[in-house]
Structure 1
């Protein structure tokens, strides 16, 4: 009897997929709005600011990344940020003057930059396409993979777009 053997061409191609989603941080990210600690929600008065942050239970930020924002158009002196960081540092794993969305992207890039990508050396690699990923992640991935890989592609294993071949 004649048996037909199907060959998985995608598997046979030797292409390895890199999914940027694997490097997405799992740390919970929250925002801390300075406005809540300002006099009349607009002015930094040292005494009131110190009293306000002294009353906060900063342990709620334990093991979290904190994006410090100010939702009003107030001028915040640098020492106020330093005071906040002094209170946050025993608890938060990361803090910066950015929105939660920007913090997520910063941490994601950091994880990718410090990832061990040696397993992709001299390989044909396709970086998986995902519409919801920030383009800067693809820019960073290309820069990190370029010196390592034999072929860099974008998309899916079955239908990749070749970026470069060595």
Structure 2
């Protein structure tokens, strides 16, 4: 008697966010505006512009960049936007948040889901793997469902041996 793997032969596609994250091998870099302040409190526009213009931006090429200010300074809104205009062409993604609030895992997953080609799942039966060791925010699962649901034939959550049906297109 031959043992057949019915799950492997079922044509189901499994999306594992944990595996997607591990394959990315995301590299992070920090960009702290504190380094451009006078005495950690004052931002002089002319000096700031000159320093940014002469700054070596290649260190951020292809990386996820955390843009923040670690100093307790009151900064105008454009102070974060100006370095972003330099980072945008070289960085993979720029994230703005307080240092203690940065969640690299979920920022990378958000980026990967945003850049996922939903056409890959057109008319397919898809399972979103639910059991993970990493702390994936529920919001990432919501992002994924919103991205692929218009394309899939059916959508399930869980493991191949025990799924919860979420959606089935009516033909």
TM-score range, shorter chain: 0.7 to 0.9
- CA apart distance, 1:32: 1.0
- CA apart distance, 1:47: 5.4
Task: Give the corresponding residue for 1:17.
Answer: 14
Worse-matched range after superposition: 72-81 or 29-38:
72-81
Task: Give the corresponding residue for 1:108.
Answer: 109
- For 1:71, what is the secondary structure of its paired residue? coil
Alignment of 1:70-109 (within 5 A): 70-88=69-87, 91-98=90-97, 101=102, 105-106=106-107, 108-109=109-110
- For 1:59, what is the secondary structure of its paired residue? helix
RMSD: 3.2
Alignment of 1:35-46 (within 5 A): 35-46=34-45
Task: Give the corresponding residue for 1:156.
Answer: 159
In 2, the alpha carbon distance for the partners of 1:145 and 1:86 equals 31
Larger Rg computed on CA atoms? 1
- CA apart distance, 1:34: 1.0
Q: 1:140 to 1:54 in 2, by over 3 A?
A: closer
TM-score, normalisation: structure 1: 0.73
Residue deviations 1:119-155, cap 9 Å, x none? 4233321011224222222101111232222321112
Aligned residues: 163
4+ residue runs of structure 1 moved beyond 6 angstroms?
none
Residue deviations 1:83-120, cap 9 Å, x none? 42455456434434336845764553344234223342
Q: 1:160 to 1:66 in 2, by over 3 A?
A: same
- CA apart distance, 1:80: 2.8
Task: Give the corresponding residue for 2:122.
Answer: 121
Task: Give the corresponding residue for 1:67.
Answer: 66
Q: 1:76 to 1:6 in 2, by over 3 A?
A: same
Q: 1:149 to 1:62 in 2, by over 3 A?
A: closer
TM-score, normalisation: structure 2: 0.71
Q: 1:122 to 1:94 in 2, by over 3 A?
A: closer
Q: Tell whether the 8 Å contact from 1:127 to 1:155 is kept in structure 2 after alignment.
A: yes
